[in-house]
Amino acid sequence: MKKIWLLLLPIALFLIGYLAKPKSTTPAQPAAPHQTHSISPKCANCVEEYIFDVIENGSNIFHYPSGPMPARTVSTQDAEKIAAYLTTLQGLKPSHPEWVQEGKTLFYGNCVGCHSHGGKGKPGYFPDLTRRPLLGMQKLRSKY
């Protein structure tokens, strides 16, 4: 009988230790990294994708005192349309030119509060979305 206890004891101790362990605290997810593989400010697709990525996932590469760019403030569909409009501010042709007009309206409805009229932004607080190349693309590229 004693032998069984000798066998069970380590198992019981293991179980107690396992259960007593505080639930693993998963660290806060870091901001999704930008896709930097195709990040050329001269290629319309890359610019459009970069802008879309920032709208969907947010961004905090400048650490401005104004805080990060918030993620997902608009639906994915609207993000695509706004990205099309902002691509034209870079002098590039978006994948769906027919989205530009609505994208502009959506920009004025959702983004102008921070990025100002025409996307001009505010130096040191909100990036100028008419800058060529976009400051963020330039910064990300200089890392690679």
Interacting residue ranges for ligand HEC, rule: CB under 6 A: 51, 54-55, 59-62, 64, 66, 68-70, 73-74, 82, 86, 107, 110-111, 113-115, 126-127, 129, 134-137
Q: Minimum CB separation from ligand HEC for residue 64, in Å?
A: 5
Instruction: State yes or no: cis peptide before 68, omega within 30 of 0.
Output: no
CB of 24 to ligand HEC, least distance (A): 30
Nearer to ligand HEC, 14 or 123 (CB): 123
> Considering the complex, what minimum distance in angstroms separates the CB of residue 108 from ligand HEC?
10
Contact indicator for 144, 102 with CB cutoff of 8 Å: no
CA atoms within 13 A on the CB side of 131: 16
> Do residues 82 and 54 make contact, with C-beta atoms less than 8 angstroms apart?
no
- Nearer Cβ to ligand HEC, position 10 or 113? 113
Closest residue to ligand HEC, Cβ-based? Answer: 136
Which CB, 23 or 63, lies closer to ligand HEC?
63
Burial class (CB in 10 A: 0-12, 13-18, 19+), 129: buried
Query: Least distance (Å) from ligand HEC to the CB of residue 94?
Result: 13
| CB of 114 closer than 8 Å to CB of 73 | no
Question: At closest approach, how far in Å is the CB of 121 from ligand HEC?
Answer: 8
The nearer residue to ligand HEC, 75 or 97, going by C-beta atoms, is: 75
What type of residue sits at position 49?
Answer: E
Helix axes 76-89, 44-57, angle to 10 degrees: 140
Please give the DSSP secondary-structure letter assigned to residue 33: P
